[in-house]
Structure 1
């Protein structure tokens, strides 16, 4: 089973980048602001009911929220509990890792994450692909230095539970879980920050990644009709088949950004 769908294929090539010395996580005692918790609760309720209008009101980009709203209902998934969160010193940027659960409330193997941004007095979540500014990229990358992506991005207990399913029953279940994983194509790929935190602390890389996020957002808006078709496709195998050519287009849209990034050990 795949761990999660990550549009930015370059992250795998960057796995060996950086210092050889082990990074140390600087734990913060700053709690998640109540306003962020409230916005996340609104996200949970909106996605569970397929309420695209409410999603648009709390989404950083606020566009095409019918795609994740429709996809979540079709895939029978909803956001679960917040697993971990980090908040910057100014308390205007946060990063959340949260569970996704099936129709029975069981956590799925792949967690999602959200960037939360405060603009004025209001907080929003990066739910659909958005052109993130350099300062937000910098803040999130600093928060996540030393975080092990697999520890936070994958629910090991959920993986283990699925591994115990008898082989003759596993096929349809894994088809559904894989389709639920690919649902992430309908939301922003915030998990990229888990995988690239140290790389994105380099100022030059932050500039490059602003262009990456713009390209990712353009892919999303350019392909909205096919993404909408995928979101409404109930059969999990057909759903994955509809998404496959879209993934190819996304790979093409972000191709080359990996070649521009600077190794953090030399940044």
Structure 2
């Protein structure tokens, strides 16, 4: 068994990944930017790099991601990758996002390239948009107005359940069979947001609709919610890519890595029904 550092352990993917690894008998060290509140936590501030070296003490393998709210993901991920290299970790799994490798100058792609050149055994996973966005980031509009407000028109996305992302990460962290490969992770089919709204309506019995808004309105809303302007602009930019059709592609990567098909949006809606009712 290994001692595995999970960065982002309190997040949507990281929390489920930590649970899966612990259930397999692995020793999980959960990185937190706050003062640790449990024996399995270690303080690590990716912005200031405080606690960086201590977080890697005794670590064999690691899962990295850049936390939301920061547009320059490379600045946060590079020190993690460099420390992993210095410690000679047996395996690193890096989560970026589908499409991150489309632009060699993008911060996420630079982080991917840094890991690829590190000499470490690695995997890179690039998930598409999370299904769980509908019960987190887009939840306010659904709860208060029964609407999903996004500037994406009728474009489709092959949304993926974060639980499947975590399952993929857990398999890759604990196996060498697929080392040094990257995987674009998607759900089983592509849907537009009106179709998603209809599925949520059927699951909840509450009328939920999709409303297309302008990028400017989205930017204003994100900033009004307290997001830094550069990160809000980054989100609007990638939503523009969604509208352009770049999120529609599907892959069989979840099945290939885990041996089981990805969850459907209907299953997600039933499992998270309490979020919207």
TM-score (norm 1): 0.31
Which structure has more RCO (C-alpha within 8 Å, separation ≥ 6)?
A: 1
More strand by share: 2
Give the greater-gyration-radius structure (CA). 2
